[in-house]
């Protein structure tokens, strides 16, 4: 797509304070249901057509309007002179994030009187937990993996290193350092729509492993290599490549990366049976530990989507790298015989029991409410399974194809060929639970209990 980016403006409120750096910024958290929900942010809003009518630049006018609306100034009849908004830099969001935004950031220094009551005034539908914080303290919390920051917010906070930033500092941004310990780089990959990207993760900071280099696109493969080299030049050490499972959109970039780096490949013991043309240097089994200097990563076998599926769990930060266990949006294909519904449900429950704070999936943005997300995935599958059971009970005997129109009557017909595979996985699961029998491609309902 070549749509031009949507313009937006961000306000970074600042006040003088008796802290180490002598001032604080007001940050908030993006609410549920938004892109990057749970990430820290400032007051950001779109540039509207009417913002162009002002004498000032549309971005500055949008920033002024946004602040007056969201901080309750408009309501209180308080005006803001737009000249008080000092531009500090701009950022264009990457294409993988969906709609592309071009954002200009402005610092707004508030006096004591203006700053008082700001946290209460901010609209709670747009801002969770507004808090005044010393930028150095904010960065420290980020380095300790206590908060998530998107790239521009991280850069803005870093800009405060030597006091309140001068107008028009350039925000140079590299990749997506979501938390102090972990880096995310979405790359174009041969995946299933609606996804177009597979997230490659650098798990760990000083020592790190590269998870799922799945891009077959040479420009994106080069971008990954460049990111690895940049880390190396800072003294960080790549230890190995790790594949969460053998699907092509998770491994297509391994060869390119290995040719340039000689890195070992670590994967599940069954991985090379599935693909053949890879040498696995270390076989990762359930409970294995990957020692990365400042943190311990635990390997968890999570079969279901694929029989060689692994998750990596960062015990220190309570974060898990979950491959295709879940996606941020949509569901995961369970395609027998590699895919197995009973195993899949058990894997979802297992990761849910960990009580993680963040999940990093292979497709989509980080999941910041893991318990809700995994709970939804489990109940969604169980609902579907009861629909499958009801359809088979009524038919008595049927093939998966015969049931798809009934079981998936709520999804687009074009998805049915794919849905039949998950439907088959449900039928096999019912068979394993003794509720159905399988014979010559047909399934027969055998459960006498009317459940």
CA distance 49 to 68: 17
Stretch that binds Zn ion, among 135-143, 182-190, 215-223, 320-328 (CB under 5 A): 320-328
Stretch that binds Zn ion, among 40-48, 246-254, 265-273, 347-355 (CB under 5 A): 246-254
Under 8 Å CB-to-CB from 6, ≥6 apart: which residues? 46, 47, 99, 100, 101, 102
CA distance 113 to 147: 29
Angstrom distances, CA of residue 186 to CA of 178, 224, 243 = 12, 9, 15
Asked, as a colleague might, if the bond just before 375 is cis with ω within 30 of 0, I would say no
Chain residues 388-417 in contact with Zn ion, contact rule CB under 5 A: none
Stretch that binds Zn ion, among 120-128, 322-330, 378-386, 416-424 (CB under 5 A): 322-330
Smallest separation (angstroms) from Zn ion to the CB of 246: 8
Stretch that binds Zn ion, among 8-16, 41-49, 324-332, 400-408 (CB under 5 A): 324-332
CA distance 101 to 59: 13
First to last CA, the chain: 48
Between 75 and 248, name the residue whose CB sits nearer to Zn ion: 248
Smallest separation (angstroms) from Zn ion to the CB of 306: 6
Nearest Cα residue to 39 out of 326, 358, 324, 313: 358
Between 66 and 324, name the residue whose CB sits nearer to Zn ion: 324
Does 212 interact with Zn ion (rule: CB under 5 A)?
no
Between 248 and 397, name the residue whose CB sits nearer to Zn ion: 248
Smallest separation (angstroms) from Zn ion to the CB of 216: 15
Does 340 interact with Zn ion (rule: CB under 5 A)?
no
CA distance 367 to 320: 10
Smallest separation (angstroms) from Zn ion to the CB of 330: 13
Q: Please identify the residue of the shown chain whose CB is closest to the bound Zn ion.
A: 247
Each as own residue / partner, the long-range contacts of residues 314-318 (CB below 8 Å, 24 or more positions apart, any chain) are 314/145, 314/181, 314/182, 314/203, 316/145, 316/181, 317/145, 317/179, 317/181, 317/182, 317/357, 317/358, 318/354, 318/355, 318/356, 318/357, 318/358
Does 247 interact with Zn ion (rule: CB under 5 A)?
yes
Smallest separation (angstroms) from Zn ion to the CB of 217: 18
Q: How many residues bind Zn ion (CB under 5 A)?
A: 2
Stretch that binds Zn ion, among 133-141, 154-162, 317-325, 402-410 (CB under 5 A): 317-325
Does 324 interact with Zn ion (rule: CB under 5 A)?
yes
Smallest separation (angstroms) from Zn ion to the CB of 305: 6
Smallest separation (angstroms) from Zn ion to the CB of 362: 7
Where along the sequence are the contacts to Zn ion (CB under 5 A)? 247, 324
């Amino acid at each position: 797509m070549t749509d031009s980016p949507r313009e937006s403006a961000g306000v970074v409120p600042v006040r003088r304070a008796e802290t180490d750096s002598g001032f604080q910024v007001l940050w908030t958290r993006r609410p549920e249901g938004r892109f990057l929900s749970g990430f820290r942010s400032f007051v950001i809003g779109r540039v509207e057509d009417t913002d162009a009518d002002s004498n000032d630049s549309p971005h500055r006018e949008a920033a002024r309007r946004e602040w007056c609306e969201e901080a309750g100034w408009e309501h209180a009849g308080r005006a803001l002179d737009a000249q008080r908004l000092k531009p500090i830099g701009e950022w264009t969001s990457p294409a993988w994030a969906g709609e592309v935004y071009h954002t200009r950031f402005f610092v707004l220094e508030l006096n004591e009187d203006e700053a008082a009551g700001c946290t209460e005034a901010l609209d709670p539908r747009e801002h969770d937990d507004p808090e005044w914080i010393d930028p150095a303290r904010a960065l420290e919390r980020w380095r300790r993996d206590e908060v998530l920051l998107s790239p521009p917010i991280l850069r803005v906070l870093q800009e405060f290193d030597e006091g309140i930033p001068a107008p028009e500092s350039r925000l140079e941004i590299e990749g997506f350092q979501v938390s102090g310990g972990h880096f995310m780089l979405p790359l174009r990959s041969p995946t299933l729509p609606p996804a177009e990207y597979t997230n490659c993760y650098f798990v760990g900071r000083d020592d790190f492993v590269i998870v799922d280099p799945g891009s077959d696109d040479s420009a994106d493969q080069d971008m990954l290599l460049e990111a690895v080299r940049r880390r190396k030049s800072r003294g960080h050490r790549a230890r190995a490549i790790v594949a969460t499972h053998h699907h092509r959109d998770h491994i297509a970039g391994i060869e390119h990366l290995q040719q340039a780096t000689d890195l070992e490949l670590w994967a599940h013991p069954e991985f090379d049976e599935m693909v053949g043309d890879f040498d696995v240097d270390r076989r990762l089994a359930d409970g294995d530990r990957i020692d990365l200097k400042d943190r311990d990563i635990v390997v968890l076998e999570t079969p279901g989507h694929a029989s060689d599926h692994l998750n990596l769990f960062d015990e220190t930060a309570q974060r898990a790298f979950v491959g295709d266990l879940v996606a941020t949006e949509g569901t995961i294909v369970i395609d027998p015989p590699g895919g197995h519904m009973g195993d899949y449900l058990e894997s979802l429950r297992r990761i849910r029991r960990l009580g993680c704070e963040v999940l990093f999936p292979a497709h989509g943005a980080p999941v910041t409410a893991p318990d809700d997300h995994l709970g939804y995935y489990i109940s969604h599958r169980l609902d579907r399974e009861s629909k499958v059971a009801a359809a088979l009970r009524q038919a008595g005997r049927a093939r998966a194809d015969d049931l798809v129109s009934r079981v998936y009557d709520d999804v687009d017909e074009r998805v049915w060929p794919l849905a039949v595979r998950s439907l088959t996985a449900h039928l096999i699961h019912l068979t394993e639970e003794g509720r159905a029998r399988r014979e010559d491609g047909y399934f027969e309902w055998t459960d006498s209990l009317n459940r």
